Chains A and B, each alone.
Chain A
Amino acid sequence: MSAEPTSPPVEGVGQFARAAFSNVSFVAGFVITALIALMALVSFVWTPHDVINLTVANRMQPISAQHWFGTDHFGRDILSLIMMGARNSIAVALVAVGIGMGIGVPLGCWAAARGGWIDEALMRFNDVVFAFPALLSAIMITAIFGPGAVNAIVAIGIFNIPVFARVARAGAMALWPREYVLAARASGKSATLITIQHILPNIASILLVQGTIQFALGILAEAGLSYLGLGAQPPMTSWGRMLFDAQTRMMVAPHLAIFPGLAIVITVLGLNLLGDGLRDLLDPRLRRQR
């Protein structure tokens, strides 16, 4: 029998929770991710300081009791900016993952279910997309449609499509010959119904794991684009945007570059840990190896 690509059911919520909380990666990743997400949510209703109206007189203040992370070149509080930036960084990466999953997963499942030339065409399409260095193409896309968060989302999202298509296809292909899928076919169920009832729930965990990876990559990609000045545009801010603003001032005010950079590192680290933890929890074959 081929190796089990799917996860077994978790034995009840309680047991899952117990397993989860004994997994260091998962706990650390979950806590970090939750804190960052919380920070982003809080920023909708409250930030320590106003960052919409500029008080240039306050510019580039060092770390103080009033401004924990100092202020930027427009006198805005950096902690507040990081909270606001979390919103955009997360939103861009999340929506990009959504685009990738929303289009890639159905494509991958479809190719696996139909096989033949549809499958072949999809794989060739993937080849073409993968042949473009993603960042280069993202730069081209933002250059055409103008820099901005929305275009960054599209640019990053497009490159998530083949990733999810590939993962979904591989997972689905491994499931189609399985006996329970054959049994479902013997029960006269259509390919669509089988995909919904049997394939998707069983590839959900690998998609979830891939999702956290792409989420982390999305945050890095957004940061890269914004760093080149092609991502979020003022007055909107994002962590990459903050680094873009900080790069020329790093000599005089290193805190401008250090805190947003750390925010990126911690978030990506948290997501990667979460992904690793989820994989350990959901995929027994890999769990054995660790």
Chain B
Amino acid sequence: MTLFLTKRIAIGVLTLLVASIVVFSIMEILPGDPARIMLGMNAAPEALATLREQMGLNVPLVERYANWIAGMAVGDFGNSYTYRSPVIELIAERAIVSLPLAVISLVLSTVIAIPVGIFAAARRGRLGDTVSMGTAQIGVAIPNFWFALLLIYVFAVWLRLVPAGGFPGWAGGIWPGVKALILPSIALALPQAAILARVTRSAMLEVLGEDYIRTARAKGMPRRYVLWRHALRNAMIPVLTILGLQFAFLLAGTIIIENVFYLPGLGRLVFQAITQRDLIVVEGVVMLLVASVVLVNILVDIAYAMVDPRLRARA
């Protein structure tokens, strides 16, 4: 297990390192002068020069990369050009929106998709299967932002059940915050749930065709018992894989969804930062997202090992 973990972590660190070089070099190609953006159209040239100096934009490239990496290692992501505050603070402020959003969506999609997938697999070929998989098929095809628009108009504007967007912050209590995240989470979760339900179903069907299911049935175990106690755990392996991949999708999905619902999350932050050429923020957030994907992949691998003793042994 330790060997396995060490190897996974080593690969993760390598991935991060390569990713950091890619991100940094991409960001350095970006055109646009951050100082000019901050001071606006009619800014005086002396003011620009002064600001550039202050922002450390005159230091050579390699040195800037080294500083950046060294800083990140100790949690210092530098200072935002536009907000003039530490990037780590910006990230922390935004993460308290994005993280709950991603977690709620992930939970929501899992809680919906896995039972539906199992249900459909257990009723293969019958009405319940056809209806749920037909719905899932459509769910996969719906762009989440379009779905979000429809949700806003139905639930926020017509029915006025939930806010149309914006985020009141957590200071006013848990409920207003959660309420503001309901529609975005649904918009994010449902298309993912559709995919997950399909994967769960086919994984279950695959497992249900295995010999050991027949062995269990030959032991006299009823169909339902076999479904939950024998099939489910084995079917979890492909489902976990998709869950891991979906996490990356969710993170990306937040960029669009946060824009639709104008939620002040990491996705909005990075989108705005790109258009405002706030390079250091973009770099920091992208690295953070990449790191979380890497971390989730490691967690998925650990979960594999927990589910499957064969992998545990190899580990």
| Residues of A bordering B, CB below 8 Å | 124, 127-128, 130-136, 139-141, 143-144, 216, 220, 223-224, 227-228, 240, 243, 247, 250-251, 254, 257, 261, 264-269, 272-273, 276, 286, 288-290
B5-48: CB near A (< 8 Å → 1, else 0) gives: 00000010011101100100011011100000000000000000
Complex contact A268–B140 (CB within 8 A): yes
Complex contact A127–B22 (CB within 8 A): no
- B145 interfacial by beta-carbon distance below 8 Å: yes
Complex contact A265–B255 (CB within 8 A): no
Q: A131-B15, A131-B294, A132-B290 are in contact. Are A216 and B141 (CB under 8 A)?
A: yes
Q: A224-B145, A268-B141 are in contact. Are A288 and B209 (CB under 8 A)?
A: yes
B116-158: CB near A (< 8 Å → 1, else 0) gives: 0000000011000000000001101111011001100100010
* From B124, B143, B150, B157, contact of A223 by CB (8 A): B143
Bound-state Cα–Cα, A264 to B138, Å: 11
B142 contacts which chain A residues (CB < 8 A)? Answer: 265, 268
B180-203: CB near A (< 8 Å → 1, else 0) gives: 000000000000000000000010
Complex contact A133–B153 (CB within 8 A): no
- B212 interfacial by beta-carbon distance below 8 Å: no
Using CB atoms, name the residue of chain A closest to B204. A289
Complex contact B15–A128 (CB within 8 A): yes
CB distance from A4 to the nearest CB of B (A): 14
B138 contacts which chain A residues (CB < 8 A)? Answer: 265, 269
Q: A130-B248, A250-B153 are in contact. Are A261 and B282 (CB under 8 A)?
A: no
Range of interface residues on B (Cβ < 8 Å): 35 or more
- B286 interfacial by beta-carbon distance below 8 Å: yes
Complex contact A136–B270 (CB within 8 A): yes
* From B18, B31, B153, B289, contact of A136 by CB (8 A): B289
CB distance from A281 to the nearest CB of B (A): 16
- B68 interfacial by beta-carbon distance below 8 Å: no
Complex contact A264–B143 (CB within 8 A): yes
Using CB atoms, name the residue of chain A closest to B206. A289
CB distance from A238 to the nearest CB of B (A): 12
Using CB atoms, name the residue of chain B closest to A125. B18
In chain B, positions 234-262 with a C-beta closer than 8 Å to chain A are 245, 248-249, 251-253, 255-256, 259
CB distance from B23 to the nearest CB of A (A): 8
A216 contacts which chain B residues (CB < 8 A)? Answer: 141
| Residues of B bordering A, CB below 8 Å | 11, 14-16, 18-19, 22, 26-27, 29-31, 124-125, 137-138, 140-143, 145-146, 149-150, 153, 157, 202, 205-206, 209, 245, 248-249, 251-253, 255-256, 259, 270-271, 274-275, 282, 286, 289-290, 293-294, 297
Complex contact B19–A261 (CB within 8 A): no
Using CB atoms, name the residue of chain A closest to B205. A289
B26 contacts which chain A residues (CB < 8 A)? Answer: 140-141, 144
A128 contacts which chain B residues (CB < 8 A)? Answer: 15, 18-19, 22
CB distance from A160 to the nearest CB of B (A): 15
Bound-state Cα–Cα, A130 to B157, Å: 38
Complex contact A261–B251 (CB within 8 A): no
Using CB atoms, name the residue of chain A closest to B201. A289
Bound-state Cα–Cα, A223 to B142, Å: 11
B15 contacts which chain A residues (CB < 8 A)? Answer: 124, 127-128, 131
Complex contact A139–B141 (CB within 8 A): no
Bound-state Cα–Cα, A135 to B137, Å: 22
Bound-state Cα–Cα, A127 to B294, Å: 9
A289 contacts which chain B residues (CB < 8 A)? Answer: 202, 205-206, 209
Bound-state Cα–Cα, A286 to B124, Å: 14
B149 contacts which chain A residues (CB < 8 A)? Answer: 243, 247, 250, 257, 261
Complex contact B145–A265 (CB within 8 A): no
CB distance from B18 to the nearest CB of A (A): 5
Interface core residue of A128, A257, A261 (most chain B CB under 10 Å): A128
B275 contacts which chain A residues (CB < 8 A)? Answer: 143
Complex contact A269–B141 (CB within 8 A): yes
Known: A132-B289, A268-B140, A290-B205. 7 other contacts (CB 8 A): A127-B11, A127-B297, A136-B289, A139-B271, A227-B143, A247-B149, A289-B206
Complex contact B290–A131 (CB within 8 A): yes
